[in-house]
């Protein structure tokens, strides 16, 4: 298990370098809400792009969707969220803290007097109230009247926006099972105990895909997506020994699922879910058919039959994935008697791909470096830096995961070559300035 302060180091790096800031900080903060800074927003975009490319653009059997956050309230009745999307809540009679009754083994006791004590101990000591169900959906009102007729919910998952558009997509895309509909977007859950930085928040982004299959084929596709999704994380650099698949026990399965497996990552706070791959049967389509009165079946032309497809759903969190990539990439190394902090991010995820430096601020080097940086910027996210010793500039880029640095020095004026330095090996080679963009493109993949 990594050292307990590993998360503190990530949180501090994120704040210092502009990945993630506490939300509403100047007003004292808004608990468990986070703002993504200049580097964080790029990292998140890269995570989403990697997902979208792999699940939608590179496939001919998945199409995209961007549905509304506010939907008709009946959507959430049909899906079961109004009655069933709740967690068990308990209060501590002594310290007044609130806990999720099913998370007591991991949660810390709320009292300073018992620092380090787990909430499960307080439960065993009889300090907690009976558990009561707490619905996690945020309610709001649409329009000027705040009455029961105007209630709307902020979506707690993006999946239902996909189910209710099943026939729309079917009609326009001419797809037939097996095929999928994918969506990335914000979801909201009034979590009882948010925490662990961006791991569990009340506002977060999801990447979800509903894959519609002939009922007889569900198992084959469940296994296919389980393996695909595991590989997606390792392909993007997560160490496989830090990832595992955890099948759900029958007692743990959601009422609509006949199988589910979580992809878990070993965070500094323990093994935790990054993504769930669920076999949702035909529950959702049938529910929406019942509640809306609209048929939600597929007509199989070859067999001349109508049927409800079964659904395999890989559902991932953007913020959790970003956190896993950051934690996994973070390393402190000893280099020539100094500590080098480096993010070994996969180049596809790195916010800045290449940094350009003049060795010194004279002899025409800044002008040449800026010209090279402008040229490279047309193809890659770049960063120009001329302040401080060049070694410090390398370290600053290592800390944010920039895979390559280019230095313009005295030799550049003589033979038009520059130094190309690679982040992980710290190896430097000389490259012709004219061949630089090509050399970078090749290495960045």
Q: How far is the CB of 179 from ligand ATP (least distance, A)?
A: 21
Structure tokens at 341: 């902090």
x/- binding map, residues 113-152, to ligand ATP, per CB under 6 A? ----------------------------------------
Question: Is position 7 an interface residue for ligand ATP (rule: CB under 6 A)?
Answer: no
Work out which of 46, 206, 281, 407 binds ligand ATP, going by CB under 6 A.
206
SS (H, E, C) 368-386: HHHHHHHHHHCCCCEEECC
Helix (H, G, I), strand (E, B) or coil at 174: coil
Phi–psi pair at 222, nearest 5 degrees:
-60, -45
Q: How far is the CB of 269 from ligand ATP (least distance, A)?
A: 12
Q: How far is the CB of 340 from ligand ATP (least distance, A)?
A: 31
Question: Is position 40 an interface residue for ligand ATP (rule: CB under 6 A)?
Answer: no
Work out which of 204, 233, 310, 383 binds ligand ATP, going by CB under 6 A.
204
Q: How far is the CB of 200 from ligand ATP (least distance, A)?
A: 4
Q: How far is the CB of 199 from ligand ATP (least distance, A)?
A: 6
Question: Is position 238 an interface residue for ligand ATP (rule: CB under 6 A)?
Answer: no
x/- binding map, residues 297-336, to ligand ATP, per CB under 6 A? ------------------xxx-xx----------------
Question: Is position 101 an interface residue for ligand ATP (rule: CB under 6 A)?
Answer: no
Tokens 């791909």 sit on residue:
353
**Cβ contact 285:309 at 8 Å:** yes
Kindly give the pairing relationship between strand 354-358 and strand 404-408.
parallel
Q: How far is the CB of 136 from ligand ATP (least distance, A)?
A: 9
Calpha distance 297→306 (Å, rounded): 6
Calpha distance 119→138 (Å, rounded): 26
Q: Which stretch binds ligand ATP (CB under 6 A): 46-54, 69-77, 110-118, 272-280?
A: 272-280
Helix (H, G, I), strand (E, B) or coil at 158: coil
Structure tokens at 363: 């002899």
Q: Residue 63 half-sphere exposure, CB side, CA atoms within 13 Å?
A: 17
> What stretches of 120-258 adopt beta strand conformation (E)?
132-135, 139-141, 151-153, 179-188, 203-213, 243-247
Task: Catalog residues that contact ligand ATP under the rule CB under 6 A.
Answer: 157, 189, 191, 200-201, 204, 206, 273-276, 315-317, 319-320
């Amino acid at each position: 298990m990594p050292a307990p302060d590993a998360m503190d180091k990530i949180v501090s790096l994120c704040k210092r370098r502009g990945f993630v800031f506490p939300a509403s900080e100047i007003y004292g903060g808004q608990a468990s809400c986070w703002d993504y800074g200049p580097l964080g927003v790029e990292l998140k975009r890269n995570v989403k792009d990697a997902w979208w490319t792999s699940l939608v653009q590179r496939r001919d059997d998945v199409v995209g969707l961007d549905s509304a956050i506010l939907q008709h309230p009946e959507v959430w009745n049909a899906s079961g969220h109004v009655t069933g999307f709740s967690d068990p809540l308990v209060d501590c009679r002594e310290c007044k803290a609130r806990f999720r009754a099913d998370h007591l083994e991991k949660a810390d006791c709320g009292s300073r007097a018992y620092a380090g004590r787990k909430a499960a101990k307080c439960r065993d000591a009889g300090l907690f109230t009976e558990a009561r169900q707490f619905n996690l959906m945020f309610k709001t009102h649409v329009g000027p009247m705040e009455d029961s007729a105007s209630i709307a919910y902020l979506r707690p998952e993006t999946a239902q926006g996909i189910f209710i558009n099943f026939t729309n997509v079917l009609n326009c895309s001419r797809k037939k099972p097996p095929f999928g509909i994918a969506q990335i977007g914000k979801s909201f859950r009034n979590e009882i105990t948010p925490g662990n930085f961006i791991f569990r928040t009340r506002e977060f982004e999801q990447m979800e895909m509903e894959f519609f299959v002939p009922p007889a084929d569900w198992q084959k596709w469940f296994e296919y997506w389980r393996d695909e999704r595991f590989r997606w994380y390792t392909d993007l650099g997560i160490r496989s020994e830090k990832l595992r698949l955890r099948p759900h026990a029958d007692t743990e399965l959601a009422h609509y699922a006949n199988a589910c497996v979580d992809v878990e990552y070993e965070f500094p706070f323990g093994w935790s879910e990054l993504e769930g791959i669920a076999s949702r049967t035909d529950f959702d389509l049938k529910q929406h058919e019942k509640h809306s009165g609209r048929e939600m079946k597929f007509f199989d032309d070859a067999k001349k039959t109508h049927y409800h497809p079964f659904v395999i759903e890989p559902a991932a969190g953007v913020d959790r994935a970003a956190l896993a990539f950051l934690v996994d990439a973070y390393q402190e190394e000893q280099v020539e008697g100094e500590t080098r902090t480096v993010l070994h991010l996969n180049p596809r995820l790195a916010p800045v791909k290449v940094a350009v430096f003049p060795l010194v601020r004279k002899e025409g080097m800044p002008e040449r470096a800026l010209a090279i940086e402008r040229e490279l910027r047309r193809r890659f996210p770049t960063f120009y830096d001329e302040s401080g010793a060049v070694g410090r500039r390398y370290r600053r880029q290592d800390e944010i995961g920039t895979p390559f640095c280019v230095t313009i020095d005295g030799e550049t004026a003589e033979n038009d070559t520059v130094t190309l330095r690679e982040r992980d090996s710290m190896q430097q080679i000389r490259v012709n300035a004219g061949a630089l963009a090509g050399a970078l493109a090749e290495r960045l993949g």
